[in-house]
Amino acid sequence: MKIKKAVVPVAGLGTRFLPATKAIPKEMLTIVDRPTIQYIVEEIVASGIKEIVLVTASGKSAIENHFDYSFELETFLGQKGKWDLLREVRHISSLIEVVSVRQKEPLGLGHAVKVTESVVGNEPFVVVLGDDMVDAEVPCVFQMLRVFEKFQESVVAVQKVSPEETHNYGIVEGEEVADRVYKVSRLIEKPAPGTTRSNLAIIGRYVLRPEIYGCLARTLPGVGGEIQLTDALDSLRRERELYAYAFVGKRYDAGDKFGYLQATVNFALEHPELGGRFKEYLKRLVSEFKD
């Protein structure tokens, strides 16, 4: 089954970044010179997916506008001879076809995925969180698609975390059946300390079969009074096989202030124009700090 669509939930209020996100969607906060959401979309495009379904809410129109054609801006840049900027702007608007669906109530990630059923239909699809960034030589989504092609079952991306951090994540328990691939035997949303020995934490990448929609329809509100995607996945796991994949790459939680700063520093170091100067600047800072 060829996967053609990616669901990107961007309806969250971004309260961890207030007051910056009072008027600007958190997904539009920039990492160096691009908004977070553009990095996400470029990863999806680089993985061969042709259509994105944005799950939006009131006040999120800036995200849709970012990927839309802007006649006035392109005309201005052309008139001023700013050809590099014009190419960049045109690149953004031609990246991918975008469809928007409204999540009218903030009822959790599971609910955000559920509202896309009428658009996605009866086919497998990818879910990528709009503030969960992965820096990888091979796009994380593409890595997961290869696992899906092999097993033809839903796949969740995982990374190992310290035992002290497991209560912050959905946790996977299972047996390793191939390199970095685990057959899932149990999923727990934010487990209490001491209730699991696994440290495989789910991060914001999923490849899902359409059967997940039926599971979401039967899922009751869980942790925080929200419909948890992890709970629906555990239900799906009882009906058919489910796999977890420990991706290759560095993950940054750009929806968290510290994770956002980490992403900014690391992507700045890799920037083709700024990386060298920024590295020297950091060296000077370290030297001054030691003194």
Per residue in 213-269, pLDDT tens? 999 999 888 767 788 898 899 899 999 999 999 999 999 998 889 999 999 999 999
The share of the chain scoring above pLDDT 90, in percent, equals 53
pLDDT confidence of residue 69: 75
* Same domain as 104, residue 184: yes
Distance CA 64, CA 200 (A): 34
Distance CA 5, CA 210 (A): 12
User: Which residue would you say has higher pLDDT here, 223 or 197?
Assistant: 197
pLDDT band at 197 (very low <50, low <70, confident <90, very high): confident
Q: What's the chain's average pLDDT?
A: 88
Whether residue 81 has pLDDT greater than 90:
no
Task: Quote the percentage of the chain above a pLDDT of 70.
Answer: 99
pLDDT band at 288 (very low <50, low <70, confident <90, very high): confident
- 196 and 279: one domain? no
154 and 144 in a single domain? The answer is yes
More confident residue, 86 or 145: 145
If asked whether residues 267 and 144 sit together in one domain, one would say no
Same domain, 241 and 291: no
Residues 109, 111, 115, 120, CA torsion sign: positive
pTM score: 0.88
Domain range enclosing 90: 5-255
Residue 118 pLDDT: 92
pLDDT at 291 over 70: no
Residue-by-residue DSSP string for 51-92: EEEEEE-TT-HHHHHHTS--HHHHHHHHHTT-HHHHHHHHHH
For the residues 150-177, what does the mean pLDDT come to?
A: 91
Rounded alpha-carbon distances, angstroms, from residue 198 to 73, 151, 172, 194, 235: 51, 23, 7, 10, 19
Output the CA angle 140-146-152, nearest 5 degrees: 125
Residues 203 and 260 in one domain: no
pLDDT of residue 11: 83
Predicted pLDDT of residue 223: 66
Reply yes or no on whether the pLDDT at 99 is more than 90.
no
Find, among 37, 33, 25, the residue nearest to 95 by Cα. 37
Instruction: Say if residue 276 is in the same domain as residue 202.
Output: no
* Number of domains the chain contains: 2
Amino acid at position 189, single letter: E
168 and 233 share one domain: yes
CATH code, domain carrying 81: 3.90.550.10
Mean pLDDT of 34-40: 91
Are 226 and 261 part of one and the same domain? Answer: no
pLDDT of residue 68: 77
* Contact between 172 and 187 (Cβ < 8 Å): yes
Helical (H) or strand (E) element with 155:
strand 154-160
Same domain, 104 and 83: yes
Write the pLDDT tens digit of every residue in 109-143.
999 999 999 999 899 999 999 889 999 999 999 99
What per-residue confidence (pLDDT) applies to 169? 85
**Does residue 113 sit in the same domain as residue 81?**
yes
The Cα 185–Cα 202 span in angstroms is 14
Q: For residues 130 and 211, state if they share a domain.
A: yes
